[in-house]
Structure 1
C-alpha cells in the first residue's frame, strides 16, 4: 500500500500542472535530494519555434540550486544558480536537449572538484513551446504555485502531526500495556511470596511444635531412661551428683538453681550427691574465667568446705531412707592417690588434642596469660570424680552449669573407656542479669544463701525488684509451683504490672523456702516500714528483730544506756557521725519516725524492746544503736 505522504506529493504535482494551464508533460515538479541531480529530456522538434523554461523552489531551501539547459551537442545553452529563474530562447539545433537541476555546491580546485551537500528541495518548473517572447510564468501562475505550495506545506504538516499523534498514541498504549504487565507481575509475585511465606511459617510452626513435643517427651523420659539403665545392672538407688568447689563459705543463687534441679531429680527417684571439692577447690576450675584463680590455702578450703552446703539444706531432703541426699568430699579419694597412680590410671585415657578443644581451655590459650598445667588438668580431676562416684555410689548422671559441659563430657568418656558403662550429663543455663552478666560469687553482684552474708531483707528485696521480663522464668527456676499456677499469676500481673503480683509471689515463695516463714514476716514488715504507705507502716509493730532486719548491713554502735537515755538526739547522732544540720533538714529518722526538733531528748520509751535504737539519715543510711547495759559510760 502506497504511503500517505507519497500519494499527497503526486496529487500536488498534478494540481500544479493543471493550474498552470498546460499539459502534465510540460508543467512538472521534481524532488531534488541533497547532493543529487535530476534531468529531463526535451524533444527539439516540439520546440522548433522556441523554448521557455521557468522554475522555482516550492519547498525547502537551497540557494545553490543550479538549472542548466544543454543542446544536442551537450553544450550548455543556459545555466543559472539560485532558487528561481527563467530562460527564453529558440532552439537552433536538432537533437535531444536536456534540462537538469543540480542541488550541489561546487568548488573547483587545481586537482579535484569538491562537492558539499545542501538540503532536499522540491522544484516546480514549466516548459513552453510557443513564441520565444512568451512570458512563461505570469503573476497569476506564480500565485497559483504559491497557493499550491502553501497547500502542500499544510498537507505535509498535517501528515507529520498525524504521524506524531499516532506515535504518541502507540507510545501511551505501549506504556499502559507495560504498566499493566508490571502491576500484574508484581501482584502475582506478592501472592506467590505470600503463599510461600505462609507455607514456610506453617512448616516452621509445625516443626517447632514437633520439636517442643519431642523435647518435652525426651525430658519426661530422660529420668525413666536413667532409671532403666541403672536398674538393669544394679538394685541400688541411682544417684546424680553436682560439684561445689569451696572457693567461698556460702553458696549463691547460681548454686541454688543447681540445688533445685537436684531436688527435681530426687523427686523422680534419684539420690542427690552434693560433692564438695576439697581437692579440686585447691586447683581452681578455669571454666568461665579469663585469668587464673587465686589459690586458696588448705585452712581456707577446709573451713569453706565445712560451711558450704548448709545453704542447700532447705531444698534437698537429707532424711529420706531411699533417696536421702549425701554430702561427699573429693579430697577423701584424691588424697589417697599418688601422682604416678593418678597419671597411670587416669591420664592414659585422655588425649591432649581433645583436651585442647575444650572451650574453657581454648579461651585461655587465646589470652596473653595462657593457662597453667594445674588448671589444664582440672578436667581430669573432675572426670575421675564422676568415675569414682559411678563405681562406689551408682552415680549415673552429673549436673552442672552450661560452662561445665566440657568437664562433664570428660567424665562420661572416662567411664566408658574405663569400665565400658554409659553415663549422662545434664547442664543448666547460667543465671544472668537483665544485661546478660553472669551471677556468681566472683562477679561482684552475688546474692548469697547465707543470711549472714546477704540479709533476709536484702534477699527478699532482690526478688521483689525482679525485672518484669525475667519474673516468669525466675518463678519456673526457683520455685516448685505448678506451671498452670505460674501462667495464671503472670497473666494477672500483666493486667496491672505496678502491683508486682508476680514479684511478690516469687519473693514470698523463695524466701519462705530458704529462710522460713518467720524470716519472711520480718522482711515484709521491714519493707512496709521502709517503703510502704502510712497504713502499712501503722499496721507493723516495731520490734528489735524488725529493726535488726532493716539495718542488718548498717554500722552497729554499742552505747551504754546512760549515754542514750536522757541525752539529746543530736548528741547520739554525733556519736553516729551525723549532726544537727541533717535534723533541721528533715533527713533524720528515729525508729522510722521523722525527727523535727534538734532538741529532742531520748527517753526509755524510744528504745525498741528496751535495747535498740534505729537512726536513719536520708533514705538508705541506717545506723543501729545497741544498748549495752554493761558498757562503761
Structure 2
C-alpha cells in the first residue's frame, strides 16, 4: 500500500515506474501542494526513438495526468557530444542538419502522447542547443567546472566501466555529464523545473545536476529513475533479433509494432499494461490473471492499447485486422510489411533481410537451413532461391508462425 500523499507519486508507484528517488518525502510534499515541472532529455541520434524510450515518454504522460507540467528536452546540443553511458565506443558525429531533421521527426510521437500549450500543466518542448550552444568554453569552465571534481567523475559507471574494459573515452564524451548537469540547472532557473526523471542508468547524471543546482543557486531539485526495463527473458527492452522496435511509422510499420506487443512473454503482460497503457488497474489485474491460451486475449488488448497511443486508433484497428486475417490462414492482410522485387526478382535470403524478417543475410541463411521459411506455404531452404512474382501477383513470405510479409513485383 502506497504511503505517498501526492497523486503524482501514488500514480507512478502503482504503475511501477519508481526505482530510485533522491528525496521521496521532499518531492511528495512539493507535488502535493503545487504544480511541479519535470523533465526528461532525449538525444536525437536517429529519426525515431525506440520503445526503450517509451517508458520515459509515458512517465511524462503520467506527470501530466497527475496535474503537473512535462518538459521535453530535445538534445540538440548533447547529441553533438554523445552520452557514454552503456557504450564501448564513441557515438558517430551527426551534422547539424541531420540532428534538426531527427528532432522534427521525433516530435511527432510526443504530439500524440502529451498535450502541449500555454496552460500551467501543458507540456513544452525545448532544445538544449539553444543554451548549450551559447556557452563560451572559458565561461563554462569558470562557472560550472569548479563544481565538478575529476575524482568523482571517474567513479561514475559510464566512465568507470569504459575504463575497466580498456575502451577509450574521448574528452568530448567525458564532458557529457557536465552538460547534462548544466541542463538541469538552466531549466530550474528559466522554467522552474524541479524534477528530472530518467532510466536507472541516468542516476549519476541526475544527481550531478541536483548538486550543481544546489551549489550554484541553492535550489532544491529532485531526481527519479525507473527500473532497468528488461523482458521476462532478460533481454533489453526495445531490441529484437530483427533490430530496434521504432516508435515512428517511417522506421517500423504499424503491423510490426503491434505484433511486437502481441508476442510479449506471458509474464510481461501485466507489467507492460501498467507501464504502457491507460487502462484502469482493476482491468489490468483481471487481464494479467488470465491463464493458458486466454492470456492471448490480454496480449491483443496490450497490442491494441499501445498501438492506439503511439500510432493512432486507425493503425491499431488495421493491425489487428491484418493479424486476424493472416493467422486465420485465409489470406494476406494488406497491412503486412511488403517489398517489391523488381523485374529481375530477388534471392530469398536477401529478401528476408530487406523486408525486415531477419536482421542479416547470415541470420536469413540460418533460418532457411532450419526449414523455418515458407513462400506461399511451401518450405524454402536454398538461400539462392529466386523470388519473382508474376505481374500483379502477391506472394506471402513467412518466417516461423508469427512473422509474415508480402512480396510483389
Q: Structure 1-normalised TM-score? A: 0.52
After TM superposition, list the pairs within 5 Å mapping 1:5-154 onto structure 2.
none
Aligned to 1:458: 256
Aligned to 1:522: 318
SS at match of 1:302: helix
Aligned to 1:28: none
Aligned to 1:426: 224
Deviations 1:241-285 (A, max 9, x none): 100001111011121111111111112222111101111101110
In the TM superposition, residue 223 of structure 1 has moved relative to its aligned partner by 5.9
Give the Cα–Cα distance (whole angstroms) in 1 for the partners of residues 261 and 239 of structure 2: 17
Is 1:446 matched with 2:244?
Answer: yes
Aligned to 1:555: 339
In the TM superposition, residue 408 of structure 1 has moved relative to its aligned partner by 0.2
> Which residue among 30, 49, 54 is the counterpart of 1:226?
30
Is 1:270 matched with 2:68?
Answer: yes
> Which residue among 625, 628, 633 is the counterpart of 2:408?
625
- Aligned in 2, Cα 1:255/1:516: closer, same or farther, shift over 3 Å? same
> Which residue among 303, 317, 327 is the counterpart of 1:531?
327
Give the Cα–Cα distance (whole angstroms) in 1 for the partners of residues 58 and 118 of structure 2: 16
- Aligned in 2, Cα 1:457/1:311: closer, same or farther, shift over 3 Å? same
Aligned to 1:324: 122
> Which residue among 243, 261, 275 is the counterpart of 2:59?
261
After TM superposition, list the pairs within 5 Å mapping 1:187-586 onto structure 2.
213-214=2-3, 219-220=9-10, 224-227=28-31, 231=34, 237-319=35-117, 321-440=119-238, 445-491=243-289, 493-494=290-291, 496-498=292-294, 500-532=296-328, 546-547=333-334, 549-550=335-336, 552=337, 554-557=338-341, 575=345
Does the 8 A contact of 2:42 with 2:74 survive in 1? Answer: yes
In the TM superposition, residue 313 of structure 1 has moved relative to its aligned partner by 1.9
Give the Cα–Cα distance (whole angstroms) in 2 for the partners of residues 344 and 280 of structure 1: 20
Moved more, 470-479 or 522-531: 522-531
SS at match of 1:274: strand
In the TM superposition, residue 398 of structure 1 has moved relative to its aligned partner by 0.4
SS at match of 1:295: coil
Does the 8 A contact of 2:375 with 2:395 survive in 1? Answer: no
Aligned to 1:614: 394
CA RMSD of aligned residues (A): 3.0
The higher relative CO (CA closer than 8 Å, separation ≥ 6) is in 2
In the TM superposition, residue 329 of structure 1 has moved relative to its aligned partner by 0.5
* Larger CA Rg, structure 1 vs 2: 1
Give the Cα–Cα distance (whole angstroms) in 1 for the partners of residues 220 and 240 of structure 2: 34
- Aligned in 2, Cα 1:216/1:532: closer, same or farther, shift over 3 Å? farther
Give the Cα–Cα distance (whole angstroms) in 2 for the partners of residues 228 and 434 of structure 1: 35
In the TM superposition, residue 440 of structure 1 has moved relative to its aligned partner by 4.8
Does the 8 A contact of 1:576 with 1:623 survive in 2? Answer: no
- Aligned in 2, Cα 1:443/1:323: closer, same or farther, shift over 3 Å? farther
Does the 8 A contact of 2:259 with 2:303 survive in 1? Answer: yes
Does the 8 A contact of 1:226 with 1:396 survive in 2? Answer: no
Give the Cα–Cα distance (whole angstroms) in 2 for the partners of residues 501 and 332 of structure 1: 47
SS at match of 1:469: helix
SS at match of 1:426: strand
Give the Cα–Cα distance (whole angstroms) in 2 for the partners of residues 442 and 417 of structure 1: 43
In the TM superposition, residue 587 of structure 1 has moved relative to its aligned partner by 4.8
Give the Cα–Cα distance (whole angstroms) in 1 for the partners of residues 339 and 393 of structure 2: 12
Give the Cα–Cα distance (whole angstroms) in 2 for the partners of residues 365 and 349 of structure 1: 23
- Aligned in 2, Cα 1:376/1:525: closer, same or farther, shift over 3 Å? same
- Aligned in 2, Cα 1:349/1:615: closer, same or farther, shift over 3 Å? same
SS at match of 2:172: helix
Deviations 1:65-118 (A, max 9, x none): xxxxxxxxxxxxxxxxxxxxxxxxxxxxxxxxxxxxxxxxxxxxxxxxxxxxxx
In the TM superposition, residue 577 of structure 1 has moved relative to its aligned partner by 6.1
Deviations 1:331-385 (A, max 9, x none): 0111111100111111011122221221211111212224222111111000000
Does the 8 A contact of 1:251 with 1:309 survive in 2? Answer: no
Does the 8 A contact of 1:245 with 1:280 survive in 2? Answer: yes
Does the 8 A contact of 2:270 with 2:287 survive in 1? Answer: no
SS at match of 1:273: strand
Does the 8 A contact of 1:223 with 1:268 survive in 2? Answer: no
Give the Cα–Cα distance (whole angstroms) in 1 for the partners of residues 398 and 198 of structure 2: 44
In the TM superposition, residue 299 of structure 1 has moved relative to its aligned partner by 2.7
Q: Which runs of 5+ in 1 are unaligned?
A: 1-211, 232-236, 560-573, 579-585, 590-600, 627-633
Does the 8 A contact of 1:263 with 1:316 survive in 2? Answer: yes
Q: Structure 2-normalised TM-score? A: 0.79
Q: When you count strand as a share of all residues, which structure comes out higher? A: 1
Q: Which runs of 5+ in 2 are unaligned?
A: 11-24, 349-373, 378-388
Is 1:588 matched with 2:376?
Answer: yes
Deviations 1:107-161 (A, max 9, x none): xxxxxxxxxxxxxxxxxxxxxxxxxxxxxxxxxxxxxxxxxxxxxxxxxxxxxxx
In the TM superposition, residue 315 of structure 1 has moved relative to its aligned partner by 1.2
